[in-house]
Amino acid sequence: MDTSSLWRAIARAPGFGTLQGSVECDVMVVGGGITGVTTALLLAQQGRKVVLLEAETIGSGSTGHSTGNLYATASRGLSGIASHWGDPVAREVLAARTAAVDFVEAQCRDIPSALFTRCALYRAARFASDHAAIEQEHKVLARLGCRVRLDSGLPGGLPPPSGQVLVLEDQAQFQPQAYVAALAQRAAQAGASIHEHSRVVEFDFKQRVATTATGTVRAGEMVLATHSPKGVHVVHAEMPVHREYAVAFEVGAVDPGPGIFWWEGDEGLSVRILEHEGRRFLVAIGPEQKVGTHNAKAALMAVEAMANSYLSPGRAVHRWSAQNYRSHDGLPYIGRDHSGCFVASGFAADGLTWGTVAARGIAAQLAGQRDTFIERCTPGRFTPVKGGKALLEEFSTMAQSLVKDYVTHRKQEKLVSLAPGDSAIVDSEGETVAAWRSPEGELFAVSSVCTHMGCKVHWNSVETSWDCPCHGSRFRPDGTVIEGPAIAPLQRKQVRGIG
């Protein structure tokens, strides 16, 4: 299935060259999503020698597969942050995120393709069981001084809500791929060396050296803007990882215009409209699914079915999926961690704004400026007592994955009959092997043990990948890394007698 996002399909690719040879610089940024590109721009503007390495192309991670909504609040609600951290910290969150949205707006003034628009954010319920959450969120946002109100309906033919709708004014939305591509060009104009198709395959965090297939970068500082930091970092123990499935339709009967539309609950949906060169699209994103523990095709079909039944859209034109990493206490992880490098992660589904907050915070720290909110977001704040219950659940998923799969995998004789397009975890001479046969009949067999920390990978039928439930590493059928903290590929395996 073609899983390119609407944003990437309609944006122009910037086309930076691959890293060649040895290079030295002040700061190396690994990752060309919104976090990495914004960091590179700000550091280049400070006059530093910056090298940015992107494994694939600018925006190819979650940034180019997001929804393009920018908001001061958090998708899981600010009331959770206020009750965990107190109102003063919730106000800091609002201030940092508002400043980040304003920063994006300022950058977009001369990037018309980024389609930046100010709009309201609507939070609605489909069932009475979600009324209390909306009322609570309204109470907290009002107490914190936001321009928020409760309304009785939704615009543009959207289905009538159950109960009242929370409306938060003065938020925004844009075209995330066009933005990040233009920002990368701006960073290059400011002096940053940007390289696409330059995956770092070896890291020396202590010496700040990164090696790709075609070159090496030595730097004074290293920023891991890879969404989840590469290698083994303490924050991985704290971050549940989820995938979200998206479908872009041609607009049908329902066309609410600019706005961020969120329906609460397990059957929640996030909806927005995009107008591009006279065509109007309705983008629908479904609820989060834990990586490596769900049926990807069923999750995608559920989003499409939900959108079809509630929003009467036209033809579905793009389907895609992307990943988010959530912290256990509602704040992101930003700053230097035990590796000595800067990390930026734990953004949940709010990382277009958090990534911008992180880039500004890291650039300020490197310039010697202090920011109490960024200091609060230090990855070193790990205290298992906070968020302990969720932490235990996370470790339990990891343990189940390690134990359950080693006893329930399929036997080798199944592999012989593996049909084109089918996948299986099988025994092969005492080892477990993850196998997939391409539609053309070629068999790909790799180790089923994730190279990050040894959990067992699971098949993702939508994106034809092996996904690890523990910390979200994902691998292609030939074992190469797609995303997540793993650095090394899954080992290729020979399965004797089977072609």
193 binds ligand FAD (CB under 6 A): no
Query: Could you tell me if 165 and 150 are in contact, meaning their C-beta atoms sit under 8 angstroms apart?
Result: yes
67 binds ligand FAD (CB under 6 A): yes
Residues in contact with ligand FAD, counted by CB under 6 A, come to a total of: 41
Q: Can you tell me the distance from the alpha carbon of 350 to that of 296, in angstroms, rounded to the nearest whole number?
A: 22
Q: How far is the CB of 490 from ligand FES (least distance, A)?
A: 10
* The only residue of 19, 23, 51, 55 in contact with ligand FAD, by rule CB under 6 A: 55
Cβ partners under 8 Å of residue 31, min gap 6: 52, 53, 54, 55, 61, 224, 225, 226, 227
Q: Which is nearer to ligand FAD, 353 or 465 (CB)?
A: 353
Q: What type of residue sits at position 292?
A: G
Rounded (5°) CA angle 61-346-213: 40
What are the C-alpha distances in Å from 107 to residues 29, 102, 103, 472? 20, 9, 6, 32
Q: Backbone phi, then psi, for 175, in 5-degree steps?
A: -100, 100
Write out the two tokens for 238.
């704290």
- Residue carrying the six token digits 């890293």: 19
Q: Can you tell me the distance from the alpha carbon of 59 to that of 201, in angstroms, rounded to the nearest whole number?
A: 19
What are the C-alpha distances in Å from 154 to residues 68, 159, 379? 20, 7, 39
* The only residue of 224, 455, 462, 482 in contact with ligand FES, by rule CB under 6 A: 455
Q: Which is nearer to ligand FAD, 167 or 486 (CB)?
A: 486
Helix axes 176-189, 87-108, angle to 10 degrees: 70
* The only residue of 311, 352, 425, 462 in contact with ligand FAD, by rule CB under 6 A: 352
Query: Could you tell me if 118 and 127 are in contact, meaning their C-beta atoms sit under 8 angstroms apart?
Result: no
Using the contact rule CB under 6 A, the part of the chain among 61-69, 166-174, 432-440, 478-486 near ligand FES is 478-486
Q: Which is nearer to ligand FAD, 29 or 134 (CB)?
A: 29
Write out the two tokens for 376.
């609060």
* The only residue of 28, 39, 42, 69 in contact with ligand FAD, by rule CB under 6 A: 69
Query: Which entry of ligand FAD, ligand FES, none binds 36, CB below 5 to 8 A by partner kind?
Result: ligand FAD
* The only residue of 301, 302, 316, 453 in contact with ligand FES, by rule CB under 6 A: 453
Q: What type of residue sits at position 476?
A: R
490 binds ligand FES (CB under 6 A): no
Query: Which entry of ligand FAD, ligand FES, none binds 350, CB below 5 to 8 A by partner kind?
Result: ligand FAD
Q: Which is nearer to ligand FES, 89 or 390 (CB)?
A: 390
Binding letters toward ligand FAD, positions 21-50, x by CB under 6 A: ---------xxxxxxx--------------
* The only residue of 262, 347, 466, 475 in contact with ligand FAD, by rule CB under 6 A: 347
379 binds ligand FAD (CB under 6 A): no
Q: Which is nearer to ligand FES, 307 or 470 (CB)?
A: 470
324 binds ligand FES (CB under 6 A): no
> Which one-letter DSSP state was computed for residue 128?
G
Secondary structure element (H or E) that encloses residue 173, with its range: strand 165-173
> How many Cβ atoms are within 10 Å of 315's Cβ, its own excluded?
8
* The only residue of 415, 425, 486, 490 in contact with ligand FES, by rule CB under 6 A: 486
105 binds ligand FAD (CB under 6 A): no
> How many Cβ atoms are within 10 Å of 232's Cβ, its own excluded?
14
Q: Can you tell me the distance from the alpha carbon of 280 to that of 251, in angstroms, rounded to the nearest whole number?
A: 6
* The only residue of 63, 471, 482, 483 in contact with ligand FES, by rule CB under 6 A: 471
Q: How far is the CB of 186 from ligand FES (least distance, A)?
A: 34
Query: Which entry of ligand FAD, ligand FES, none binds 121, CB below 5 to 8 A by partner kind?
Result: none
486 binds ligand FAD (CB under 6 A): no
485 binds ligand FES (CB under 6 A): yes
Q: Which of 337, 340, 333, 338 is nearest to 221 (CA)?
A: 340
452 binds ligand FES (CB under 6 A): yes
Q: Which is nearer to ligand FES, 361 or 379 (CB)?
A: 379
351 binds ligand FAD (CB under 6 A): yes
Q: Which is nearer to ligand FES, 182 or 470 (CB)?
A: 470
Write out the two tokens for 254.
């329902």
Q: Which is nearer to ligand FAD, 90 or 348 (CB)?
A: 348
Rounded (5°) CA angle 172-356-26: 155
- Residue carrying the six token digits 């066309």: 255
Beta strand 215-224 with 342-345: parallel, antiparallel or unpaired?
parallel
Q: How far is the CB of 421 from ligand FES (least distance, A)?
A: 25
Q: Can you tell me the distance from the alpha carbon of 334 to that of 302, in angstroms, rounded to the nearest whole number?
A: 34
Secondary structure element (H or E) that encloses residue 214, with its range: none
Q: Which is nearer to ligand FES, 33 or 485 (CB)?
A: 485
Query: Which positions touch ligand FAD (CB under 6 A)?
Result: 30-36, 53-56, 60-63, 65-69, 199-200, 225-227, 230, 244, 246, 285, 322-324, 344, 347, 349-353, 355, 483
* Interface with ligand FES (CB under 6 A): 450, 452-455, 468, 470-473, 484-486
